[in-house]
């Protein structure tokens, strides 16, 4: 797997200050995608154990709310195994920090039924996430007023509740606010 960039003080891709990893490789090719250069699987730099160490180090400060995975496409089969290693280690070292993932795939049509990549890897990757923003970016549905998504067809999904229910459950509450420790503040 390659990655395009690591943003270490990102406030645009989930609540609070986040570490955002933009992976390379995407077959969706959404019209007017903001990150077209990352469609190429060979774009950027190789994702190595040193890259994981860099991300884990960046996640350590208390003011960092969590990790966001973007692309490219994190759920492309070629990216899943390396990302699974990263999210496992993130959970192990920082269990209270949130993990968000952005995908052009649909939770209900593609990911829950196991239609993307190896079903066991895809499902475990999904089970390590707190929030999934799913759906392709659709130019005609673009809305700059939306929080943490680009077009109105995209969903902000509570992954643990969705996996428990077996269908999509949207994130509710005051999740747009986070406490310094990365926990979602539902007060």
- In the prediction, which pLDDT does 35 show? 79
Q: What is the DSSP string of 134-151?
A: ES---GGGB-TTSSS-SB
- In the prediction, which pLDDT does 33 show? 76
Q: By the 8 A CB rule, do 155 and 107 touch?
A: yes
Judged by DSSP in three states, 18 sits in: strand
Across the 187 residues of the chain, what is the mean pLDDT of every consecutive 10-residue run? 97 96 92 82 97 98 98 96 98 98 97 94 97 95 92 96 96 60 40
The conformation of residue 36, written as its DSSP 8-state character, comes to: G
Number of helices and strands in the chain (H, E): 4, 7
- pTM tops 0.85, yes or no: yes
C-alpha span between 146 and 95 (Å, rounded): 28
Name all domains of the chain by residue range, CATH numbers in brackets: 2-165 (3.20.20.70)
Sign of CA dihedral 147, 148, 152, 153: negative
- In the prediction, which pLDDT does 186 show? 39
- In the prediction, which pLDDT does 30 show? 82
């Amino acid at each position: 797997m390659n990655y395009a960039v690591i943003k270490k003080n990102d406030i645009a891709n989930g609540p609070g200050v986040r570490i955002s990893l933009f992976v390379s490789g995407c077959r969706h090719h959404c019209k007017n995608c903001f990150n077209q250069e990352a469609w190429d699987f060979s774009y950027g730099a190789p994702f190595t154990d040193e890259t994981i160490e860099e991300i884990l180090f960046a996640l350590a400060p208390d003011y960092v709310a969590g990790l966001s995975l973007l692309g490219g496409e994190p759920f492309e089969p070629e990216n899943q195994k390396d990302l699974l290693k990263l999210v496992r280690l993130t959970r192990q070292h920082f269990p209270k920090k949130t993990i968000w993932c952005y995908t052009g795939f649909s939770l209900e049509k593609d990911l829950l039924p196991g239609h993307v990549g190896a079903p066991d890897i895809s499902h475990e990757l999904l089970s390590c996430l707190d929030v999934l923003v799913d759906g392709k970016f659709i130019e005609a549905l673009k809305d700059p007023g939306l929080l943490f998504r680009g077009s109105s067809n995209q969903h902000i999904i509570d992954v643990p509740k969705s996996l428990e229910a077996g269908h999509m459950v949207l994130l509710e509450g005051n999740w747009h606010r986070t406490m310094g420790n990365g926990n979602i503040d539902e007060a």
